[in-house]
Amino acid sequence: MTSGFPGTDIFRGLTFRVLLFLSLALLPIGLISVVQTREIAEQNIMNAELSLLAITEQASSSESGLIQEAFGGADALASVVNLIKADSFSCSAFLREYQKSSNLYTLVSFVRVDGQMECVSNGIATDMSENPIYKKLMQSKKRTANISLRPSISKEVVLIVSVPLRVDGELLGFVNMSIPERVFREAVELDLEVRPTAMVTFNAEGDILTTENDRDRASQEMPAVQELKWYAGQSGGVIRAKNLQGDDRLYAILPIVPGVVYAMSVWPENSPLLTAGASTRLNLVLPVIMWIASLIVAFWALNRLAIKHIRKLGRQMRHFALNRTLPRTTLSGVVPTEIVNMEEAFVGMAESILRDEAKLEDNLRQKNILLKEVHHRVKNNLQLISSIMNMQIRQASTPDAKRVLQRLQDRILSLATVHKSLYQNDNLTRVDGGVLMHEIVNQLLSVGLPSGSGITVTQKYEAIQLDPDDAAPLTLLVSEAVTNALKYVAVGQADKGRIEVTLKYTGPEMALLTVSNSTGHGDVEKGTGLGSRLINAFSRQLNGQFKINEEPNSYTLSVEFPVPLKSKIVYDY
């Protein structure tokens, strides 16, 4: 399936664009799904927290009942104590009878605002003015619950519930109910499927009142960041925080006596009750997973139905463009009809192109044959003219007439050589200048240079490709230059003369023709100047630079001309 991935230019690929538009189409549905899933997740988390609060309420039901009963009893006793507080004996007897009938309290007492406790269930009057709990009562002057770990009267850990006694708004004292800690431990606990790590009750000042297990262990489970009294204001909710040991915990807080006593349960982060809420939070990624799954399905379908076949069709087209071969097997099977129609159209177009190219090649071959035939006939006609002129030369009566006819015959043979090279070469548009020069010069030397003359001839040619329009003036120019060289090098037969003819590249599209010869030491017949004018004219037809370097013992003719790869402008002279 990886064959459907886009190439380097992925943003212009069909796969990327289809997936992009599909993503845009799925975006509104995805947003709605995210919002709804988030609402469901939040609702489930809220339900999980409510479950924690409900279990906290059940787990603290025994402590809540005892504490609430103590506050209710203290409220009821406050009314009676107000009536009999003046008689300490009667007041103490009444409280003693109440203590025995309830069997929940170790001590029931009334403490006046001056700290004197004379109305007490054990009948022993005590000065409580220096007692820390009494000082707390006088500071708060409201209903409180405090823990006394080392009481001087009860001799065991007790929870002291205090209710203020007011008459006409004036504070007269506090009714105190001392509940021993063992009563809380002996209370019947409900059978819960899931129990918290710790269960405590605490007052508004943040003091732990009761625990279900060891007090020190419960203290280690308390929050590490905020003081416990801060959580009194968060009652009725669930808070996430770290305990004193650095572990993540959840704290569920409920009021037992609002503003006075609270119950707190401690739960680990991975509590089974929170599993539903946590799993619901994971559902937030479901829209993303669905989006990715939709893109994968769309990509797979697009690749299977279109991309794979389009790529195969593209390979067939490239193969045809390179090798001009039609595909051996065609698309079939589960290929969509549209792509099959595209392939049929391509095959039909390719067959039409092959037929047209075959016709063009046939026409071109016929034209090449005709052009070669034309060059061949022109060469034959020029050779026929040369043969007629050769007969005329033999019948000429004067040396001047023979010389003029001979020069004219050389020019005709040079043109015949050009046409011969054209029809013998498969490429009718370019001629090898080196081969052409070698043939023309040898032909001139065979006629104009008699055997035993002692003249050294040097030829150096590079394979320079020429246009037919440049080949004709070049051959005529070489013919005139070599003829002049033969004419002037022949003076003074006793000296050993030399002739050098070279053709070479001087740049990527520049060539240099050089014809050099040694000069004689005798009188030379004065010419008509026609050769020089022809050389100058042929040089200009080649768009070349014509130079002559004449020294005492040598004469050099050089023509530098362009040999462009493309057709060049030729001036008409």
Query: ∠312-315-318 over CA atoms, to 5°?
Result: 155
Is 100 inside any structural domain?
Answer: yes
Q: Which amino acid is at 378?
A: V
Residue with tokens 């982060």: 269
Non-local (6+) Cβ contacts of 182 within 8 A are 156
d(CA 203, CA 253): 12
74 burial class (0-12, 13-18, 19+ CB within 10 angstroms)? Answer: buried
Query: ∠22-25-28 over CA atoms, to 5°?
Result: 140
Is 334 inside any structural domain?
Answer: no
Looking at 124, 155, 184, the residue that finishes a domain is: 184
What predicted TM-score, i.e. pTM, was given to this entire model? 0.48
Is 105 inside any structural domain?
Answer: yes
Domain that includes residue 84, residue range: 65-184
CATH number at residue 168: 3.30.450.20
Is 97 inside any structural domain?
Answer: yes
Is 514 inside any structural domain?
Answer: yes
d(CA 205, CA 260): 9
- Answer whether 429's CB lies under 8 Å from 467's CB: yes
**If DSSP codes are grouped into helix, strand and coil, which group holds residue 162?**
strand
Looking at 169, 184, 199, the residue that finishes a domain is: 184
CATH number at residue 443: 3.30.565.10
Provide long-range contacts, Cβ within 8 A and 24+ apart, for 215-224. 218/266, 219/244, 220/244, 220/245, 221/197, 221/245, 221/249, 221/266, 222/266, 223/249, 223/251
Q: How far apart are the first and last CA of the chain?
A: 71
Is 421 inside any structural domain?
Answer: no
Q: What is the pLDDT of residue 162?
A: 92
d(CA 402, CA 391): 11
Is 356 inside any structural domain?
Answer: no
Backbone angles phi, psi at 237, to 5 degrees: -140, 180
Looking at 147, 166, 184, the residue that finishes a domain is: 184
Per-residue pLDDT tens listing for the chain (573 residues): 444 444 456 667 777 777 787 777 777 877 777 777 777 777 777 877 788 888 888 888 888 888 898 999 999 998 898 888 888 899 999 999 998 888 889 899 999 999 898 899 888 888 888 888 888 889 988 999 998 887 777 678 889 999 999 998 899 999 999 998 888 887 766 666 677 888 899 998 888 888 887 788 888 888 888 788 888 887 788 888 888 888 888 889 999 888 899 998 888 877 766 665 555 555 667 777 877 888 788 778 777 777 888 888 888 888 888 888 888 777 776 778 888 888 888 888 988 988 888 888 888 777 777 776 776 777 777 777 877 777 877 777 787 777 777 767 776 777 667 666 666 666 556 778 888 888 888 877 877 776 667 788 889 999 888 887 788 788 888 888 888 888 777 555 555 688 899 999 998 889 999 999 888 655 555 656 777 888 888 888 888 888 988 888 888 999 999 988 765 554 444
- Answer whether 472's CB lies under 8 Å from 415's CB: yes
Where in 118-247 does DSSP place strands (E)? Answer: 119-120, 126-127, 144-148, 158-167, 170-180, 198-203, 208-211, 237-242
Domain tally, the chain: 2
Is 198 inside any structural domain?
Answer: no
